[in-house]
Amino acid sequence: MLSFTKWFPIALALLGLQSVHAKKPNIIFLLADDQSTYSVGCYGNEDVKTPQMDKLGAEGMVFDRHYVTSPICMSSRANIFTGMYEYKTGTNFGHGDMKPEVWQDSYPVHLRQAGYLTAFAGKFGIVVDGKGICEEEFDIWAGAKGQSSFRTDKNPALAKYAKEFPHSTLAYGAWGQDVIRTAVEQGKPFCMSISFKAPHKPATPDPRFDAVYAGKTFKKPENFGRAFADHLAPQSKKGRQWARFTEWKYDTDYDAQMRLYYQQIYGIDVALSMLREELEKQGAADNTVIIYTSDNGYLCGSHGYGSKEIFLEESSRVPLIVHDPRLPESARGKRSRELTCNIDFAPTILNLAELPIPAKMDGHSILPILTDPNTGGHAAITLFNGFIGNCMSVVTQNKKYTYWAASKGLPAFEEMFDLKKDPYEKVNLALNPESAPLLEKMRESYRERLAMLQKEAVSYNGYAKYAITLDPDATPAAKQEAIRAATKAKKKTK
């Protein structure tokens, strides 16, 4: 049963929306793959061209402090579907697939049971035991296994679009147009989720947009390069994200790499326009909520890293734009600094569909924020990525604390940043003795988040060990024993 504190703001939001529009809304959930905030014009980058995303923000709400709780694709998508932290979904690379009982409380399952036409296209990103990539769980399907492909003809469900749109990004737009038409013809509310492959590596932009950034140079972020990594954990420099700064030539060919990256995102922008145009044609625009975001951010050279995975802002904070056309004009074109995260999507989508939110979901509906941008966010969120496994962060309204456990022959290390004063994370306050009182406060916040993990982590797929390995007070011997026990348990399940 939901608590009063969880239901009350949701009930208020629903009452307000019902007074505007009694009909259940259509929902379009758009997910980019590896898109950073600095790739979108409305997030302050004048070098990029994202007119449709900017327009969506101008007509809706832009969220400035939206995080992915696990900045890697498999886990992030599991979190999005279920509204739960990774340690409760039990799903990530190197750990295992999702249990069917976890999937049964996902937002697509609940919406289909409630009469919504459900549709999915693109990179599904997870596997559910006994169900695979869940093709049978949707009314209309154009999903793909693994990393999917930029080539439309590699996805059989998109074959009819391959000639006109050989690159998958616009093919998803065309597929989405057909879904909108089908739902309108059937007279059913729809929930359509499109998971673009762009702008994932290897960078493969649609050549029809080659002229958009031809010859363009870009301003580098003020924390670009390895001169801004000295204060960061040595453990973070042992992973692939450190090597990819040079492997992907951010150090020697930054402009060329960013042209490819931004060109892929421009393709998504065009696909967004295709969907919005079709909504207008079908008379569905006034009752369709659009949510646009990414599965994780991207480190295109900030602090001398590439890729994602770690909890720096460029990797864990992502764009979120929500447009609800049912709201009054006074609620549009706003920005919010409330703390939100990807586990909020499932409860928000259920809230939009006027369905109850399972108590097991960790996220909150963000609908109250759409009517008041200064209320309704989290007091704190956890950043945890089992793919790395040796660190965890707590993010509060303006602060971030990360504990890196001793690993790879390196001692435990702490990072702490004041994100309001230092948004580029250039000053590690954990290294400053004068910040000791604040550090102790953030350590206490970390312990509170760790206690949640210790209480709620699933017992399978190797997650039980984190209750010990991420505990700063646990002895080295206890941590080693936890790792041995998890390894032994995993071998037994194979």
Q: Which two tokens stand for residue 69?
A: 């709780």
Q: Tell me, what's the pLDDT at 262?
A: 98
Q: Tell me, what's the pLDDT at 5?
A: 41
User: What values do phi and psi take at 364, rounded to 5?
Assistant: -120, 150
Please say whether the structural domain 4-378 has been given the CATH code 3.40.720.10.
yes
Instruction: Tell me which of 10-24, 91-105, 166-180 is least confident.
Output: 10-24
Provide, rounded to the nearest whole percent, the portion of the chain with pLDDT above 90: 91
What band does 493 get if pLDDT is binned at 50, 70 and 90? low
Three-state DSSP class for residue 64 = coil
What band does 22 get if pLDDT is binned at 50, 70 and 90? low
Asked if pLDDT for residue 17 goes beyond 60, the answer is no
| Long-range pairs, 482-486, Cβ under 8 A, ≥24 | 486/462
What band does 175 get if pLDDT is binned at 50, 70 and 90? very high
Q: Please state the rounded mean pLDDT for residues 449-472.
A: 97
Question: 384-493 maps to which CATH number?
Answer: 3.30.1120.10
Element holding 14 (H helix, E strand): helix 4-20
What band does 1 get if pLDDT is binned at 50, 70 and 90? very low
Q: Tell me, what's the pLDDT at 23?
A: 87
Give all strands of the β-sheet with 391-396 in edge-to-edge order.
Answer: 380-384, 391-396, 399-404, 413-418
Please tell me the distance from the alpha carbon of residue 64 to that of residue 399, in angstroms, as a whole number: 14
Q: Please state the rounded mean pLDDT for residues 87-92.
A: 98
Please tell me the distance from the alpha carbon of residue 291 to that of residue 347, in angstroms, as a whole number: 13
**Which neighbouring-strand residues pair with 403?**
392, 414
Instruction: Please list, in sequence order, all residues whose beta carbon lies within 8 angstroms of the beta carbon of residue 338, skipping any fewer than 6 positions away.
Output: 63, 65, 366, 369, 373, 374, 375, 376, 377, 378
Dump pLDDT digits (tens) for 381-430. 999 999 999 999 999 999 999 999 998 899 999 999 999 999 999 999 99
User: What values do phi and psi take at 440, rounded to 5?
Assistant: -65, -35
Between residues 17 and 63, the one the model is more confident about: 63
Please tell me the distance from the alpha carbon of residue 237 to that of residue 257, in angstroms, as a whole number: 22
Element holding 102 (H helix, E strand): helix 100-103
Element holding 486 (H helix, E strand): helix 476-493
**Which neighbouring-strand residues pair with 294?**
32
Q: Please state the rounded mean pLDDT for residues 280-302.
A: 98
**Which neighbouring-strand residues pair with 142?**
121
Q: Give the start-to-end residue ranges of the domains of the chain.
A: 4-378, 384-493
Q: Tell me, what's the pLDDT at 485?
A: 85
Q: Tell me, what's the pLDDT at 494?
A: 54
Instruction: Please list, in sequence order, all residues whose beta carbon lies within 8 angstroms of the beta carbon of residue 386, skipping any fewer than 6 positions away.
Output: 70, 75, 86, 87, 92, 94, 95, 462, 463, 466
Three-state DSSP class for residue 58 = helix
Average pLDDT across the chain, whole number: 94
Asked if pLDDT for residue 276 goes beyond 80, the answer is yes
Cα 170 off chain centre by: 21
Q: Where are the alpha helices (DSSP H) in 287-366?
A: 313-316, 345-352
CB 346 within 8 A of CB 336: no
Q: Tell me, what's the pLDDT at 488?
A: 75
Dump pLDDT digits (tens) for 315-339. 999 999 999 999 999 999 999 999 9
**Which neighbouring-strand residues pair with 382?**
394
**Which neighbouring-strand residues pair with 122?**
143, 195
Q: Tell me, what's the pLDDT at 293?
A: 98
Asked if pLDDT for residue 467 goes beyond 60, the answer is yes
Three-state DSSP class for residue 451 = helix
Residue 76 neighbours by CB distance under 10 Å = 29
Please tell me the distance from the alpha carbon of residue 225 to that of residue 305, in angstroms, as a whole number: 8
Provide, rounded to the nearest whole percent, the portion of the chain with pLDDT above 70: 95
SS (H, E, C) 123-175: ECCCCECCCECCHHHCCEEEEECCCCCCEHHHCHHHHHHCCCCCEHHHHHHHH
Dump pLDDT digits (tens) for 211-246. 999 999 999 999 999 999 999 999 999 999 999 999
Q: Tell me, what's the pLDDT at 492?
A: 62
The sign of the CA dihedral 75, 378, 291, 8 is: positive
Asked if pLDDT for residue 19 goes beyond 80, the answer is no
What band does 487 get if pLDDT is binned at 50, 70 and 90? confident
Q: Please state the rounded mean pLDDT for residues 142-146.
A: 95
Q: Tell me, what's the pLDDT at 376?
A: 95
Q: Tell me, what's the pLDDT at 28?
A: 98
